[in-house]
Amino acid sequence: MKVIVGVRFKKSGKIYFFNPGNLHINLKNKVIVETALGEELGEVVAKKKLLTDNELNSPLKKVIRIANHKDIKHDEENKKKEKEAFKICEEKIRKLKLDMHLTEVQYTFDNSKLLFCFTADGRIDFRELVKELASIFKTRIELRQIGVRDEVKRIGGNGICGRELCCCSFLNNFETVSIKMAKEQNMSLNPSKISGNCGRLMCCLKYEQEVYEDKLKHLPKIGAVVQTEDGEGVVDSIETLKEIVKVKLKDDNDETYYKKYNANDLKIIKNADSEVIDDEEKENMAELQKLEALEEQDRKAEKDNEDIF
């Protein structure tokens, strides 16, 4: 068992664990910690607790000290330098005619490295840009290509619900989301209606997915043949959360009609073998497949860029 504290370097950023040593650390304390990039200033967001070695994904680095007035002032000066570096880098990108979009500039606390984050559609040859930036700032330069989700997380904004974006306000990590989730939640399969500001599937699709998965285990699939109090019918649609099933039936005159039933009142005679692809899904299939491919591409990029610290 090891004693740890949780430290965050950015608002709604990932929480990293550090060894507090013998320091008396409280929540919201600013601390200087040892990271892979050198010394960094962060805020304590999780108080001391015990974790087993299995719960720790990597070796613990140390909290060097509780930040003093000088440290905080130095961090503020770094923030000003970052704004200047951002302007200079943008000018260089225009001069070199590079097809890339600069999103963030970040100094390490000890100024041993200057990190430039950018987005681009493909691979960028930025060797000449690195040379020019190194000659200006006289420190180690790193350019890091990030995904569109990371870009939006840094920029901020509001979602279609009117609230601040989840990734900017409280999400520590990006969850894996899929078209299948939207389908199981009976959402429109129009990509424009299930995509967030980043152009990828909305993170909130994940929030209720476990509930839907649990309920769907006990519900018939669309297209299943079921026994109702009015005779045999075929499942037309499902209200998953209410566990209400709309069934297509035929009356004595062989006329088709629809009726809703509580799922508990139905007996499945033959479940559907596969998922039904409706007209909306067929119409948007190419865009949906493209969106799925981008999701997979972003997951790989996010994994590669997970640990800035």
pLDDT beyond 90 at 42: yes
pLDDT tens digit sequence for 213-239:
999 998 999 899 999 999 999 999 999
The overall average pLDDT reported for the chain is: 88
Name which of 266, 206, 213 is nearest 236 in CA terms: 266
- Identify the helix (H) or strand (E) that includes residue 198: none
Whether the model pTM is above 0.85: no
- Indicate the domain borders of the chain: 2-67, 74-145, 152-212+280-304, 222-270
Amino acid 278: pLDDT: 66
For residue 151, the 8-state DSSP code is H
Amino acid 307: pLDDT: 47
pLDDT band, very low/low/confident/very high, at 300 (cuts 50, 70, 90): low
> What's the mean pLDDT in 32-42?
88
> Which H, E and C letters describe 61-85, residue by residue?
EEEEEECCHHHHHHHHHHHHHHHHH
pLDDT beyond 70 at 194: yes
Burial class (CB in 10 A: 0-12, 13-18, 19+), 14: middle
% pLDDT > 90, the chain: 52
> Which H, E and C letters describe 120-134, residue by residue?
CCCCCCCHHHHHHHH
Query: How does 238-265 read in b/e, with b if 16+ C-beta sit within 10 Å?
Result: bebeeeebebebeeeeeeeeeeebebee
Please check whether residue 249 is in contact with residue 256, taking contact to mean a CB–CB distance below 8 angstroms.
Answer: yes
pLDDT tens digit sequence for 146-193:
888 888 888 888 998 899 899 888 887 788 888 889 888 988 888 888
If one compares 220 and 280, the residue with the highest pLDDT of the two is 220
CATH 3.30.300 fits 74-145, yes or no: yes
Name which of 54, 44, 73, 45 is nearest 2 in CA terms: 54
Please check whether residue 247 is in contact with residue 228, taking contact to mean a CB–CB distance below 8 angstroms.
Answer: yes
pLDDT band, very low/low/confident/very high, at 96 (cuts 50, 70, 90): very high
Q: Which of 7-11, 96-100, 144-148, 272-276 is predicted least confidently? A: 272-276
Amino acid 175: pLDDT: 80
> What's the mean pLDDT in 95-120?
92
- Give me 66's structure tokens: 């509780």
What's the one-letter identity of residue 77?
E
Packing angle, helices 127-137 and 69-96, rounded to 10: 140
If one compares 110 and 290, the residue with the highest pLDDT of the two is 110
